[in-house]
Structure 1
């Protein structure tokens, strides 16, 4: 299992770094060309637009076809979107690239997460494998922005887009030798259910709501750090380093999670992370220097980085094995729907009242909702599987 898990993590890093690099570089190029904060919000929203509509079909596609076919399709789409920005680096082509990179990343992530969940044999292993798997986005959230910022400062935007467009092919190189797992079938005689039936379970609804809130915090940080950095005259490298510090902190906490997963309750980790996020968002508007923003970014990375493994573990415990792809698709649709709407709202609110009030408003909502996390309990135990 360790070899397969390492390949899946490397594959995830490769395809996701393409998207995160574009998500940093494209808004920065738009700002330098004189586009407004609202336009940047539109551009960022497009990274999540396609996954909103494709998440559920992608989940079902993964349930039917497994791992390799979805990843191969995702790699092709992401690379073509990146090469379009190399050929025509205009705002509207950047919007197209944002859409294709977002769609490809979403499809690949669902297929990879579904496969990883099926490698686990009990609840403790679920927390551990998803803790390791969560290291992947943390690394790519560091690698993508830092690599893009470095190439932009030394060679320009087109070279940065070219480097990012080549990254997804590494994902296919890593995953092509991974063995497919047998398809999970629905219990005999079970009627076909709508994906929305999963939301009839109260704890599943609660989990989706909390995941949406914490994902919105991630979007706030990703959107407002380039805007704040630009307003304060920071270089592309400095802005990338601030975002990279967040990613490194998230990576560090996730590296520790597999060893302490057996001693943690998922609901306690999520509640503590929500309280810490609310506190840090209250302080963020008072940070003006790059080092101060980087410090808060690192602390926020520790808080938000601990959440995803716990949420993914609970999601797999709450849903039947043959519907894991659907559940992951429903989660992806919810958080990507938020990522479409929230940057538009953040851009409008930031232009109207200032970015400080956006931080305070989002942090206040998350802080008030943190007690809800304590009530989460897995409703369905994961099935025990015999080891090969």
Structure 2
């Protein structure tokens, strides 16, 4: 949908401003409603929230199939973003509850992380190919099939999966989101998570500028991006098999230290193969970081409020992806592309310190069993 809707709008002659607002619409609705949905998952478990997520995704494609007016397309973008975001929150929460140890949780979050990586690879190719061959209506029809197919997977999940106990429902109903931000360990993990999001966002923003300054071809820049994406996808596929050997609480300390070094040297490297190597290292490190962060987030969340904590993380991610590019544009003009990489390196050093604080805070190495 992120490919089809902007392309269709461009073909209709809409301005770049409208296209930008359209792309932002994918993040706007989930950013505004994710917290309420997270609390909803804590009360109602897996199936009902998943059906809602599927319905939102399906309805967005159906709207686009029958109408290409701007209001309809903007509504569809918001519903699609909400459906995707809500579905991921529900799946992450339920998957975490189906296992009882840190090692298993690292494995399951690694498997879950494969979904957006594979979807991000297959979806644009499917959409673009169908739109070129048969038109956008065919592309939207195919996109409507995908959430429909997911209904069959939902039906295979046990009826009690993710169900909350009476005590957990009471905790979810009585707690306030603001109270979560009073939990020191949770605040630190959320800041670390934002630093990780900002790091790959800075890389995506600054790499084309760096390539332009050095007169790299568009193909060369694309190859560097592909090296990052390929390494990230591969490590997510391998991680479930090696998670047993990783001290998951120490992973952020080591990984963020590596990221800080990579960002420090990145703008100094002259050759494309060197930049490709750094991009691959970024992909590997970030691919390992995310399941570890999710595991520690699970440990730090209060009883009965894991879905709300996941939703808080999702909300902060969406807001940062909306606002950070504006900050990058300003900072890039003031300090240059090298300054952006070095500033990110300094920020990641802060993340290393926060990660050490999390380890010292003695978050349980084996999370509570649900």
Q: TM-score, normalised by structure 1?
A: 0.75
Give the whole-Å Cα distance in 2 for the aligned partners of 1:164 and 1:339.
24
1:56, CA displacement in angstroms? 1.2
Write out aligned runs for 1:273-352 (5 A).
Answer: 273-281=255-263, 297-346=279-328
1:178, CA displacement in angstroms? 0.8
Question: What do residues 170-193 of structure 1 show as CA deviations (whole Å, max 9, x unaligned)?
Answer: 222211221133423327997932
The answer (yes or no) to whether the contact 2:42–2:169 under 8 Å persists in 1 is no
The answer (yes or no) to whether the contact 1:278–1:363 under 8 Å persists in 2 is yes
1:123 paired to 2:102: yes
- Structure 1 window deviating more from structure 2 (328-337 vs 92-101): it is 92-101
Write out aligned runs for 1:1-388 (5 A).
Answer: 22-26=1-5, 35-36=15-16, 41-89=20-68, 94-151=73-130, 159-179=138-158, 180-181=160-161, 182-186=163-167, 192-221=174-203, 246-281=228-263, 297-346=279-328, 361-377=343-359, 379-380=363-364, 382-384=367-369
- Structure 1 window deviating more from structure 2 (105-114 vs 248-257): it is 248-257
Query: Which structure is larger by alpha-carbon Rg, 1 or 2?
Result: 2
SS at match of 1:200: coil
The answer (yes or no) to whether the contact 2:169–2:304 under 8 Å persists in 1 is no
Give the whole-Å Cα distance in 1 for the aligned partners of 2:337 and 2:116.
26
RMSD: 4.0
SS at match of 1:132: helix
SS at match of 2:304: helix
The answer (yes or no) to whether the contact 1:83–1:165 under 8 Å persists in 2 is yes
Give the whole-Å Cα distance in 1 for the aligned partners of 2:204 and 2:19.
12
1:350, CA displacement in angstroms? 6.3
The change in CA–CA distance for 1:140 and 1:47 in structure 2 (over 3 A counts) is: same
Stretches of structure 1 that go unaligned for 5 or more consecutive residues are 1-21
SS at match of 1:139: helix
The answer (yes or no) to whether the contact 1:267–1:375 under 8 Å persists in 2 is no
Give the whole-Å Cα distance in 1 for the aligned partners of 2:49 and 2:256.
33
Question: What do residues 25-73 of structure 1 show as CA deviations (whole Å, max 9, x unaligned)?
Answer: 555666786854x765544432221122211111111112211221221
1:251, CA displacement in angstroms? 2.6
Give the whole-Å Cα distance in 2 for the aligned partners of 1:27 and 1:219.
20
1:324, CA displacement in angstroms? 1.2
Give the whole-Å Cα distance in 2 for the aligned partners of 1:122 and 1:184.
19
Give the whole-Å Cα distance in 2 for the aligned partners of 1:200 and 1:276.
30
- Structure 1 window deviating more from structure 2 (205-214 vs 270-279): it is 270-279
Give the whole-Å Cα distance in 2 for the aligned partners of 1:264 and 1:343.
33
1:133, CA displacement in angstroms? 1.9
The answer (yes or no) to whether the contact 1:85–1:93 under 8 Å persists in 2 is yes
1:211, CA displacement in angstroms? 0.6
The change in CA–CA distance for 1:371 and 1:242 in structure 2 (over 3 A counts) is: same
1:112, CA displacement in angstroms? 0.7
State the number of aligned residues.
Answer: 360
The answer (yes or no) to whether the contact 1:267–1:374 under 8 Å persists in 2 is no
The answer (yes or no) to whether the contact 1:41–1:344 under 8 Å persists in 2 is no
1:120, CA displacement in angstroms? 0.8
Q: TM-score, normalised by structure 2?
A: 0.78
The answer (yes or no) to whether the contact 1:45–1:341 under 8 Å persists in 2 is no
